[in-house]
């Protein structure tokens, strides 16, 4: 059972019990809108508690939500991205929050990897629909001409970094139990050895 608490100036706090813990979410709007949201959150809590997929009308409402608010519901434990048709864009946004503390250079690299994933899958592709075959195809697609310019694809190192990032964020979805399996798990990535870094190991040392 959820409760609605006025915080003044059209600001409301909705409290709900999830897994025995009281959690809350803040909403700004009219009392009627807050009451409507309260009802929907109560329904979501019921679905989450019973491990059920939300009804069609609730799913439509979820898809129409602002992404930031949808992710708040995920963080509260009211939504599972895989169960409610969470998209690639939802997963990337969630990962972005987790990695917000990273150094600017690393964040810039991650932005590039995310761009590649959006270009291949599309922002609205449900994460639950991504298969091992899709992961294989992404690896091939990244290396094809046209990715960097008209005549070149990404090099082996760049392909490997993007595949590793995809594996990393899909593993987040598995750990959060939004997905039952990681389609990128076990997918081999190309490894290019820099000839300048090769060195001779004497037989005596190798033995």
Question: What are the strands of the beta sheet with 21-28, ordered from one edge?
Answer: 3-8, 11-18, 21-28
For residue 22, is pLDDT > 70? yes
Confidence (pTM): 0.62
Confidence of residue 59 (pLDDT cuts 50, 70, 90): confident
Contact (CB, 8 A) for 88 and 117? yes
Structure tokens at 83: 């169960």
For residue 193, is pLDDT > 60? no
Residues 138, 141: Cα–Cα separation, whole Å = 5
For residue 42, is pLDDT > 50? yes
Backbone torsion region of residue 140, taken as left when φ is above 0, otherwise alpha when ψ lies between -120 and 50, otherwise beta? alpha
Residue 56, pLDDT score = 72
Give the single-character DSSP code of 80: -
Taking residues 17-27, report their average pLDDT: 86
Contact (CB, 8 A) for 58 and 40? yes
Digit-coded pLDDT (tens) for 89-99: 888 988 888 88
């Amino acid at each position: 059972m959820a409760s609605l608490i006025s915080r003044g100036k059209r600001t409301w706090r909705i409290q709900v019990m999830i897994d025995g813990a009281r959690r809350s979410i803040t909403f700004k709007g009219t009392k009627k809108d807050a009451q409507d949201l309260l009802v929907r959150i109560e329904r979501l809590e019921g679905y989450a508690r019973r491990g059920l997929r939300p009804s069609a009308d609730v799913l439509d409402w979820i898809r129409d939500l602002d992404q930031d608010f949808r992710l708040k519901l995920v963080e509260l434990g009211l939504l599972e991205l895989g169960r409610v048709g969470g998209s690639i864009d939802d997963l990337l946004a969630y990962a972005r929050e987790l990695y917000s503390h990273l150094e600017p250079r690393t964040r810039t690299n991650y932005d590039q990897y995310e761009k590649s994933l959006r270009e291949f899958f599309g922002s609205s592709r449900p994460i639950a629909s991504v298969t091992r075959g899709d992961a294989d195809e992404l690896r091939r697609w990244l290396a094809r001409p046209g990715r960097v310019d008209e005549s070149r694809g990404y090099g082996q190192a760049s392909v490997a970094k993007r595949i590793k990032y995809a594996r990393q964020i899909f593993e987040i979805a598995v750990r959060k139990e939004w997905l039952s399996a990681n389609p990128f798990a076990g997918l081999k990535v190309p490894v290019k050895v820099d000839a300048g870094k090769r060195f001779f190991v004497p037989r005596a040392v190798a033995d």
